[in-house]
Amino acid sequence: MPQVARLVAPTGIAAVDNQLEGGLPVGATTEFVGPECSGHTSVALAFLAQMMRMGNVCAWIDVCDGLDPESAAATGIDLSRLLWVRCGVSAEPARLSPGLQFPQKYLVPPPVMKGFHGGGFGPHPQTEVKGLSEAASDLLRPEAFAPRCAEPQRRMKPEREVFLPVSPMPAAKLNPRVRSGKPWARIEQALRVADLLLQAGGFAAIVLDMASIAPEYSARVPLATWFRYRAAAERTQTSLLLLTQHSCAKSSAELLLRFQHGKACDDETTVFTGIEYRMEVERRRFTQVHANIVPMRKPSQRENGVHWRSHSTWAGVR
């Protein structure tokens, strides 16, 4: 009888599940590495949809604010069972629907209250003397306050020049949501949220989406953070999915999957029908043990790469 080292959960994509011998590990960290538009988000959404069909609750920590709820719902995700954390997004004021309007009294400006100094309540004349000396000194010439030669002059420290990492992609091609704000501030917020959710438990799967963050920023996360996440995921039996462009978790990740750029399907000449993706299993800590007998010959190596296709809605089932 085959003995599985760890429980796995299916992703819902037959080609990927066959390559991974059942699916993604439960209670461990799985790292999806690859550039943007390489299919790792689609696999993560499909995996969450499978977990929710079993009645579980999942979380999506969106560092770059790139998750589309409509696309997530189209893949089968129950949005009522998904905790969507948007990092670095300020709270927007509530917008009224076209049918709702403010009462007319809130649209009329209040009348001007007459008082001192030409309408409006001004301060008492005695308080206006405060700050008069500072205001008068600003009107004088700067040469009057120049230090003399005999007086000690204050030594000014030169400002330290800071060099920021440059993204390999031009600014015009970057996501406008990612270009604004500080990436490291959003990463810190995402790490704190992931720590709280893993320690609290109750989530079958948690996705930490840093797929649009440049590797210069994601590589700054300490390795102790990923080791702490691995211990917490194993204790709460939570599947942690890490989406990045460069491998960050190192040995803390039980499974490392590398995705390649998607290729447009050429079934039709003028109609876009779908995208063909490719994924490779780069590293796996635990494998299935089929027997206790060690063979004398070297076992045949299995192909690590797998292809699958995603079809557009208007193309139908092929």
- Convert the pLDDT of each residue in 80-125 to its tens digit: 999 999 998 765 544 444 544 444 544 555 565 555 544 545 555 5
Confidence grade of residue 265 (pLDDT, cut at 50, 70, 90): confident
Residue 289 has pLDDT above 60, yes or no: no
Please check whether residue 245 is in contact with residue 215, taking contact to mean a CB–CB distance below 8 angstroms.
Answer: yes
Rounded Cα gap, residues 3 and 13, in angstroms: 23
State the average pLDDT over residues 42-61: 94
In Å, how far from its chain's centre is CA 43? Answer: 16
Q: Give buried/exposed letters for 257-269 (b at 16+ CB in 10 A, else e).
A: bbbbebeebeeee
183-192 per-position pLDDT tens digit: 888 999 999 9
Domains of the chain: 8-88+174-311 (3.40.50.300)
State the average pLDDT over residues 67-88: 91
Beta bridge partners of 280: 258, 305
Question: Most confidently modeled of 47-51, 67-71, 93-97, 248-252?
Answer: 47-51
pLDDT of residue 57: 95
Rounded Cα gap, residues 140 and 152, in angstroms: 23
234-248 per-position pLDDT tens digit: 999 999 999 999 999
State the average pLDDT over residues 292-307: 65
Please check whether residue 190 is in contact with residue 208, taking contact to mean a CB–CB distance below 8 angstroms.
Answer: yes
201-236 per-position pLDDT tens digit: 999 999 999 998 888 888 889 999 999 999 999 999
Rounded Cα gap, residues 184 and 213, in angstroms: 9
Element (H, E) at 207: strand 205-209
How much of the chain, in percent, has pLDDT values that exceed 90?
37
Rounded Cα gap, residues 20 and 304, in angstroms: 9
Rounded Cα gap, residues 200 and 194, in angstroms: 10
116-171 per-position pLDDT tens digit: 544 545 555 555 556 656 665 655 555 555 555 555 656 666 665 544 554 444 44
Residue 314 has pLDDT above 60, yes or no: yes
For the chain, the residue count is 318
Would strands 274-284 and 263-264 be described as parallel, antiparallel, or unpaired?
antiparallel
Tokens of 284: 């796996």
C-alpha closest to that of 27 among 1, 55, 4 = 4
Rounded Cα gap, residues 244 and 34, in angstroms: 7
Residue 308 has pLDDT above 90, yes or no: no
Residue 55 has pLDDT above 70, yes or no: yes
Judged by DSSP in three states, 183 sits in helix
Phi/psi of residue 160, nearest 5 degrees: -75, 130
Residue 174 has pLDDT above 50, yes or no: no
Rounded Cα gap, residues 315 and 188, in angstroms: 42
CA distances from 288 to 5, 20, 81, 307 (A): 6, 10, 32, 22
pTM for this one?
0.66
Residue 173 has pLDDT above 80, yes or no: no
C-alpha closest to that of 241 among 12, 48, 7, 110 = 48
In Å, how far from its chain's centre is CA 4? Answer: 32
Angle, helices 223-236 vs 183-200, to 10°: value is 30
302 vs 74 pLDDT, higher one: 74
